Amino acid sequence: MKFVLLEDGRPGLLNDHGVVDISSAVSQLGGKDGQSMMETIIAHFDDLRPELTRLAEEGTAIAMSNVKLQAPIPRPGKILCMGGNFSEFGHRSPGPMWGFLKSSDAVIGPGGTVVLPSVDANIFHHEAELVLVFGKTGKNVTESNAFDHVFGYMCGVDVSARMPQTPGATPSGFQAWRGVSAHKSYPTFAPIGPAIVTKDEISDPQNLQVRLSVDNELRGNFNTSDMAHSIAASIAFISTHESFSPGDLMYTGTNHQGLGAMQDGENIVIEIDQVGQFSFSVQDALNRRWAKGVDELTAKDVREGTGGPGAKVRPV
């Protein structure tokens, strides 16, 4: 099933004809607003499945052209993120695992706008990622039962402000857990959507093509099979540092070979096979400019391990 959240807070199911309003079924179990209704769906999915199946087949669908969606989980309790989690097309061997938290206040949905803050950043990068939604509470889970805790998947972009590095600072890759990343947690820095696709609809989450384009120019184009640490291993690792609850999110990481600058007026589209696609825009009151296209300097630095993402990039 594919769950969406309408702009007015009603939950819906996607089918071939559009969106079916399922708020009547969900509200009976206590959901009162968009966030609580989605949490109710996740927590009571097995009980709701028969009625949701009936509504998906028999309910009146609203055409997609007549609806506006918000983030499927507008206020997750936690956004857990894996860092440095790809082999960069086989150029890098798996290194020590590490991760961090993004603020839940950063979430926006399809059609939203990423607003670049007026900080002295080297560059603002888009990082296309597969995002999973937890369906069960977990802490110190094992790889063997990691997927028992997964409810479904979404598309997501980890927006990153690359700040000038302090000489002598410890590289983030040497820290197992960084806590909340301030440079990734500005408001609007966590676009997610368009729907939560339940895990039974995804044939193999470890073999999904991820694409990101900016103004119709393809930049990111990689497969989740390039992960240095599997999704199951990532869940197990993160759960040693943080507990998670139904409705919490986990960004699984990105391949850095397709990153590029985000700048004022751009339209960005993320698409993941079997999961969906959505777009969002970028706004920068300072109208800063970087070279268009893939940030080849950062790609080389990450590929060869010669520097952190965006360390040597400055506005032009």
Which of these ranges, 134-143, 169-178, 203-212, has the smallest mean pLDDT?
169-178
Tell me the per-residue pLDDT of 258-297, one tens digit each, with 9 for 90 and over.
Answer: 999 999 999 999 999 999 999 999 999 999 999 999 999 9
174 pLDDT above the threshold of 80:
no
pTM of this prediction? 0.95
Domain with CATH 3.90.850.10 in the chain: 79-304
Q: CA-CA distance, 291 to 123, in Å (whole number)? A: 10
3-state secondary structure of 17: coil
Q: What is the mean pLDDT of residues 215-222?
A: 98
State residue 314's pLDDT score.
82
Asked if 119 contacts 285 with a C-beta cutoff of 8 angstroms, the reply is no
Q: CA-CA distance, 282 to 299, in Å (whole number)? A: 22
Smallest Cα–Cα separation from 122: which of 164, 172, 166?
A: 164
CATH number for 79-304 (one of 3.90.850.10, 3.90.550.10, 1.10.150.130, 3.30.1490.20): it is: 3.90.850.10
Residue 151 CB-density burial (10 A; 0-12 exposed, 13-18 middle, 19+ buried): buried
170 pLDDT above the threshold of 60:
no
Which of these ranges, 25-34, 104-113, 182-191, has the smallest mean pLDDT?
25-34
State residue 166's pLDDT score.
58
Which of these ranges, 74-78, 150-154, 212-216, 312-316, has the smallest mean pLDDT?
312-316
